[in-house]
Structure 1
Amino acid sequence: MLSAGLAKRCLVLILGLFFMGIGISLVTRSTLGTSPISSVPYVLSLALPVTFGEFTFVITLLFFIAEVLIIGRTFPKIQYFQIIVALLLGTFVDVGMFLSAGVNPGIYPEQIAIVLLGSVVLALGIFLQITANVILNPGEGLVRAIAEKTHRRFGIVKVMFDSTLVASAAVISFAAFGTIEGLREGTVISAILVGYIILGFALWYTRYDLGKYLDD
């Protein structure tokens, strides 16, 4: 039976995945590109009759498989629940796209505002997942595995990882459409802002000692 503290952390994790899906959807609805972590599934969803969320699940599952292969036999059994995290994230991306269907910014300042709002919501989702400290998101898990294997800093590997995803999405887009789709200045804005916003949430979380509410 789950302890009260663990139950709260699982709830925070699910809430974080929900906000992450909403944030990704809002950035995408800005029509100024999508977030780096969702760039490949979004471009694939434009090229093939599979939803954004379904491709998010598939790509996230591939991240998980790569993480397991890198870590090997010492991979923690509890982290196999990352498969459920991948499924929830994919589901919440589709839910977010449904809920944000009415978001159609008509002018550039509105598009920028939607990117900023989406980045805040996305950062909140990621922060809640980090705070929950239960199961890793496969994307972050893969970055951590690569960082530990190569003895490089997590932040440096994260930048390289996101850059590789964006570059891959650009190649897929050019191959499918002959042009770049789904990658614009919103992608760059989101990539830059999200980390700083997460830091802001972390400072606020520490200042008001909100971690006490996750204890048993």
Structure 2
Amino acid sequence: MDYEKIIIYIIGLNFLALGIVLNISTGLGVAALSSSIYTTSQIFHMLLGTASIIWYIMFVGIQCLLSKRITKEYLLEIPLSFVFGYLNDFYDYIIHITPSSFVYSLLLLCIALLCISLGVYLTSETNFVLNPGDGIVKTISEVFHYPFYNVKNMFDISMILCSLVLSWITHNPIMGIGIGTIISAVMIGRLIKVWQYLLQKRLFIEV
């Protein structure tokens, strides 16, 4: 039955990448996890996918340090970083949305957060290789014995702080952070819990 999990996993990765790009398109600020990635791409004039690869490789290193071991799962996150980076660039290339009003932006933000949280939930529940942005959250959760969705909220907020610090030390204006970023930091962890309630028995007991 592993092929069913593989399908769920691929769907989850695509929802996650799609949600990140939609979040950027809102004009209300990027997703909290992506804030440091987006800031890096803007400051150093690189593709979003390239910046995500750099950050994700750092996340893999932090996972190894926190858990005090190097595992196959951690190492597999490195090639996944490249795949997910290219997936981000793909959706960024094909999606060109400019909201015409604040209400439209909020609606788009809601869709983006639903996509991101669903993507995180599906990829984490399959127990395959996580993208490093979620892998580091899972590692922190396991090492310090906190619920995954609570750690997700705290980690997202820390990424916003990293973005602010990066802008400050490079003497650049704050980029990509807005009300949408704050909402995503507060809501994504909670939405993951909602998806868990709605889909756990439907998908992951039978699969």
TM-score, length-scaled by structure 2: 0.88
What is the aligned residue count? 207
Separation in 2, partners of 1:213, 1:155:
23
Long gaps (5+) in structure 2: none
Q: 1:118 aligns with which of 112, 117, 123?
A: 112
Aligned counterparts of 1:177 and 1:106: Cα–Cα separation in 2? 31
Which of 63, 76, 81 in structure 1 is aligned with 2:76? 81
Deviates more, 1:198-207 or 1:178-187: 198-207
CA drift at 1:153: 5.0
- Judge which range, 16-25 or 79-88, deviates more: 79-88
Native 8 Å contact 2:157 2:185 kept in 1: no
The alignment-based identity, stated in percent, is 26
Out of 12, 17, 20, the residue aligned to residue 24 of structure 1 is 20
Matched, 1:45 2:49: no
Shift, 1:156, TM fit: 4.6
Is the Cα contact below 8 Å between 1:17 and 1:88 reproduced in 2?
no
Is 1:134 the equivalent of 2:128? Answer: yes
Report deviation, 1:19: 1.1
2:159 aligned partner: 165
User: Could you tell which deviates more after superposition, 176-185 or 164-173?
Assistant: 176-185
CA distance in 2 between partners of 1:158 and 1:127 (Å): 11
* 1:91 aligns with one of 82, 86, 92: 86
Rate the CA distance shift 1:114–1:174 in 2: closer, same or farther, 3 A: farther
Instruction: Check 1:145–1:194 CA distance in 2 against 1; reply closer, same or farther (3 A cut).
Output: closer
Which residue is 1:197 aligned to? 191
| C-alpha displacement of 1:95 | 1.3
Aligned counterpart, 2:63: 67
Mapped to 1, the partners of 2:117 and 2:2 lie a distance apart of 22
- Is the CA contact 2:57–2:81 (under 8 Å) kept in the aligned structure 1? yes
- Structure 1 residues 12-59: Cα deviation after superposition (integer angstroms, max 9, x where no partner): 222211110110000111111111111111011111221011111110
Q: TM-score normalized by structure 1?
A: 0.85
Q: Match of 2:98, SS?
A: coil
Question: For residues 154 and 198 of structure 1, do their structure 2 counterparts lie closer, same or farther at Cα, with a shift above 3 Å needed?
Answer: closer
Aligned to 1:144, the other structure's residue is in SS state: helix
- The list of structure 1 runs, each at least 4 consecutive aligned residues, that deviate by more than 6 angstroms after superposition, is none
The root-mean-square deviation of aligned C-alpha atoms, in Å, is 2.2
Give ranges in structure 1 of 5+ residues lacking alignment: none
2-structure distance, mates of 1:152, 1:40? 24
CA distance in structure 1 between the partners assigned to 2:156 and 2:143 by the alignment: 18
